Amino acid sequence: MMGIFLVILSALTPQAKALLEKGIDASHVEDYTTASRTYVEAKKLCPSDPAPYFLDGALTFIYMVDFVTDTLESRFDANLNKAERLAEAGIEENGDNARDLFFIGSVRIFRAVRYGWKKQYTKALSAGMSALNYLSKAVKLDPYLYDAYLALGAYHYLWGIKGRYIPGMMSNKETINQGIREIKKVYDNGFYFTASAGQAYSWMMKKEGRADEALEVSRELVNAHPEARTFRWGLGDLYIELEMWGEAKKLFEGLLNDVLRDQPKCYTNHYQIKYKLAEIYHGLGYEDKAREYCQDVVDNKSKIRRDVGDADFVKDAEKLLRKLGD
């Protein structure tokens, strides 16, 4: 379990290590201001180390997904590009080593995931493929570098499901399962990225129609971070998948209140939760309430970003509204 500690933090000063740990903890509860400040301070202490740049770039990605925005795209690129350059310089100076290989591969995986979020699937696969060699070398050099499997697992899963999104490509069940196993390895044995791995594992299980297997992990994440929006989204989706309507209703009603308070202009999140509530009320048999939420989503679709993510909940709302009838 010490792999990521040795890899990410080994070349840093004790003060910088403490700052990065604080930033990672803050990112888990969506305290973006605290996390960003700690990474900036760590950069000042260790300006030639890739770790704070990589983590700041990762934080920026998490923020953009959370707020459904592209406003920090240049910052995302600048941080990841800097981390990659510093890691490449480390390899030039010291030869192949697990630490720098880890950063190069992980930077490229984050780019792949970002492309995937923007529905640029061919670019996502290209970036993911370019990461594979670096990450594979890293875990060969340090087989206990469990957290490197987060990026490896993401790559293998995305490669495995490519046929679902890219015409003419074939999906591969074996590769899908390999990615899932690698993500689960991080959740079971990782040091810093266990929460991210748990979130990814739950999402993958849901996508594969195995929501019941993800429920325990998702509940553990919410229990550990009860105020965090991200983990509650995942648990709520699992409740819906498993038709646990009462639990889903309570969770999404609370989440809607929090999002309206904390993200007042993030209309995509507002209406996505309202669609979730429409599904829930339909499942509970309250058709009028379900119809009301669906209509609200459809009437406000001009406020919703439909060019990101892996689904179009506006289309889903329109379909459910037709099913409900007048």
**What pLDDT, on the 0 to 100 scale, is given for residue 310?**
64
**What pLDDT, on the 0 to 100 scale, is given for residue 9?**
54
- The single residue listed with the structure tokens 């069940």 is 173
**What pLDDT, on the 0 to 100 scale, is given for residue 1?**
36
Token pair, residue 240, equals 């819906």
What dihedral angle (degrees, nearest 10) is formed by the CA atoms of 117, 61, 55, 127?
Answer: 30
Token pair, residue 273, equals 């939760």
Considering Cα of 160, then 162, then 163, then 168, what sign does the dihedral take? negative
Q: Where in the chain is the domain with CATH 1.25.40.10?
A: 3-242
- Count of residues making up the chain: 326
**What pLDDT, on the 0 to 100 scale, is given for residue 3?**
42
Note the pTM of the prediction, 2 decimals: 0.87
**What pLDDT, on the 0 to 100 scale, is given for residue 166?**
74
CA angle 35, 38, 43 (to 5 degrees): 125
| Domain range 3-242, CATH architecture | Alpha Horseshoe (1.25)
Task: Provide the b/e sequence for 283-293 (b: ≥16 CB within 10 Å).
Answer: beeeeeebbeb
| Domain range 245-326, CATH architecture | Alpha Horseshoe (1.25)
Residue 266 to residue 27: CA distance in whole angstroms: 19
Residue 4 to residue 45: CA distance in whole angstroms: 20
**What pLDDT, on the 0 to 100 scale, is given for residue 5?**
44
Report the chain's C-alpha Rg in angstroms.
20
Query: pLDDT means per 10 residues in the chain (326 residues)?
Result: 47 86 92 97 95 95 94 96 97 93 91 88 84 90 87 85 78 89 91 84 89 90 93 94 96 97 96 98 97 96 88 92 86
Contact 236, 221 (CB under 8 A): no
Residue 157 to residue 257: CA distance in whole angstroms: 34
**What pLDDT, on the 0 to 100 scale, is given for residue 269?**
96
**What pLDDT, on the 0 to 100 scale, is given for residue 158?**
81
